[in-house]
Amino acid sequence: MIRAWTGAQVREAERPLLEAGDGPALMARAAHGLAVSVLRALRSRRGRVSGARLVVLAGSGNNGGDALYAAAAVARRGVRTTAVLTSARCHPEALATFTAAGGRALQLREENAAELASLCAGADVLVDGILGTGAAGALRGPAAGLVRAIADAGAPLVVACDLPSGTSADTGELFEPVLRADLTITFGGAKAGLLAGPAAGAAGTVETIDIGLGPQLPQPALRRLEPSDFRRLWPVPERDSHKYTRGVLGIVAGSEQYPGAALLCTQAAAAAGIGMVRYLGPRDVCRLVNASTPEAVCSSSDSVAESRVQAWLVGPGTGTDKEQARRVLDALASGLPVVADASALDELPGELGPQVVLTPHAGELVRILARQDVEVTREQVEASPSEFAALAAGLTGATVLLKGAATVIASPSGTLFSQDNATPWMATAGSGDTLAGILGALAATVDPADLDAAGIDPPDHAAGIAAMAAAVHGLAGTAASAGGPITASDISRAVPRTVRGLLQESVPGR
């Protein structure tokens, strides 16, 4: 499991070490890790290091110092290295070490910005060390103009030092102009903002350098599940398992107006390995569901109270069907785990618990927050998804899965997960229904003891399950796409082999 912290948390963890005089040692570890990564990138790009061209954009703080020390180490390996100083102030010891290693330093001014942008564009690797986690907001003055000019000229391979300048270490917001990175080398602990929000798309591949902060770091601000986590979390049947012990999911989805949602939810739930699906809906939709998923037990007359299930999935495609709306409300009041999607998001009662998982996209979250007297725009939600998902979870009492390029899951306790496993080809009609089906299946089957063993506390169990569903949904869609168009049904068909791939290293014969 990847753990990430806010910039403030990392700086607080550094504070006692800095007060003890360990600042130079921390900087040396960070610079060494950055230098190794830059050298690796140069070898990958050119096949060799000697004769390469490196340009460093060095700001006034310790971030610029890390970049200059790293550039000095790279210069000693035969790399032609130039530092563009974006501030009149810089880390003096780092600059002295850099020039002693043969590096050339140039001061950025308004009048030479275009020339220096051309220099940067011609480098093999460009290191962004302008702003660090202590900065707030956007680049200003000549530095902002330089970054814009570099983007216009065509940036080379960009390596960000700790985080791309102009990104929020906490929320993942972008404050343009941002020099988007191919690789971000972050220090001490992964930054939460690099795993959520638009910054996740601006950071490229994120690598964390251990500089010795482990004992000082608090509980992480955000977590992300990795493939290895599924080997202990995914529900695997035992020798004596049967369909009821493997979980029963109740689904209230679809209507005469929107029958397809019911089919997609049911297909996805069955593909995820649920023991049984009980579908409640209109008679004609029941026929379609049984034709598509004959394993499903369908009823047009049963009530929620008459259906013995471990969890409910409600809302996709129910539209204005009054009987389906009654069933949605009954499921939400059942006290069982509930996945509430689509139309159900407009039928929420006043009190919810963390076992209820809301699955909005940004526009739907705007409506949820409006009912809590919070006025926000879709653009604001998309700019800072972790902030508004957490706000919605706190106000509603429910777990919130906010769909997006990086899916953010917020527990009412304040715990955050973020999963970024999907391909843009999954932005297609019905994809959210398949996610809801996978999530519903997991809500009915995941063993709480396995979540506890993974370090996910009981108040956050639903958030952990939602993170599992988001990851498998994204991985299945990516596998189905293989770089090209897919449908929502393609995602469901890819779920079984995706799960097999996650389990095969630890479950013999699978």
- The tens place of each residue's pLDDT in the chain, 510 residues long, gives 999 999 999 999 999 999 999 999 999 999 999 999 999 999 988 889 989 999 999 998 899 999 999 999 999 999 999 999 999 889 999 999 999 999 999 999 989 988 999 999 999 999 999 998 877 788 999 999 999 999 888 778 999 999 999 999 999 999 999 999 999 999 999 999 999 999 999 999 999 999 999 889 999 999 999 999 999 999 999 999 999 989 999 999 999 999 999 999 999 999 999 999 999 999 999 999 999 999 999 999 999 999 999 999 999 999 999 999 999 999 999 999 999 999 999 989 988 999 999 999 999 999 999 999 999 999 999 999 999 999 999 999 999 999 999 999 999 999 999 999 999 999 999 999 999 999 999 999 999 999 999 999 999 999 999 999 999 999 999 999 999 999 999 999 999 999 999 998 654 443
Going from N- to C-terminal start, the domains of the chain cover: 2-223, 240-503
Cα distance between residue 26 and residue 362, in whole Å? 40
Cα distance between residue 261 and residue 272, in whole Å? 17
Q: Is 247 annotated as a binding residue?
A: no
Q: Is 4 annotated as a binding residue?
A: no
Q: Is 41 annotated as a binding residue?
A: no
Domains 2-223 and 240-503 belong to one CATH topology:
no
Q: Is 64 annotated as a binding residue?
A: yes
Q: Is 450 annotated as a binding residue?
A: no
Q: Is 191 annotated as a binding residue?
A: no
Q: Is 240 annotated as a binding residue?
A: no
Bridge partners of 222, per DSSP, are 4
Q: Is 133 annotated as a binding residue?
A: yes
Structure tokens at 509: 């014969």
Q: Is 261 annotated as a binding residue?
A: yes
Structure tokens at 381: 């939600």
Cα distance between residue 352 and residue 412, in whole Å? 10
Cα distance between residue 353 and residue 462, in whole Å? 10
Q: Is 302 annotated as a binding residue?
A: no
Q: Is 317 annotated as a binding residue?
A: yes
**Closest-CA residue to 188 (of 68, 9, 416):** 9
Find out whether 64 and 182 touch, Cβ atoms under 8 Å. Answer: no
Domain 240-503 - what CATH class? alpha beta
Q: Is 361 annotated as a binding residue?
A: yes
Cα distance between residue 130 and residue 153, in whole Å? 19
3-state secondary structure of 278: strand
**Closest-CA residue to 416 (of 402, 428, 430, 427):** 402
Structure tokens at 506: 């630890």
DSSP state string for 137-172: S---HHHHHHHHHHHHH---EEEEESS-TTB-TTT-
Per-residue confidence (pLDDT) for residue 505, from 0 to 100: 61
For the entire predicted model, the pTM comes to 0.93
Q: Is 182 annotated as a binding residue?
A: no
Per-residue confidence (pLDDT) for residue 183, from 0 to 100: 96
- R_g of the chain computed on alpha carbons: 25
Q: Is 188 annotated as a binding residue?
A: no
Q: Determine how many CB atoms are found less than 10 A away from the CB of residue 241.
A: 12
Q: Is 128 annotated as a binding residue?
A: yes
Per-residue confidence (pLDDT) for residue 508, from 0 to 100: 45
Q: Is 134 annotated as a binding residue?
A: yes
Cα distance between residue 280 and residue 308, in whole Å? 12
Q: Is 262 annotated as a binding residue?
A: no
Cis peptide before 385 (omega within 30 of 0): no
Would you tell me which CATH number, out of the four given (2.60.120.10, 3.40.50.620, 3.40.50.10260, 3.40.50.2300), belongs to the domain 2-223? 3.40.50.10260
Q: Is 214 annotated as a binding residue?
A: no
Q: Is 205 annotated as a binding residue?
A: no
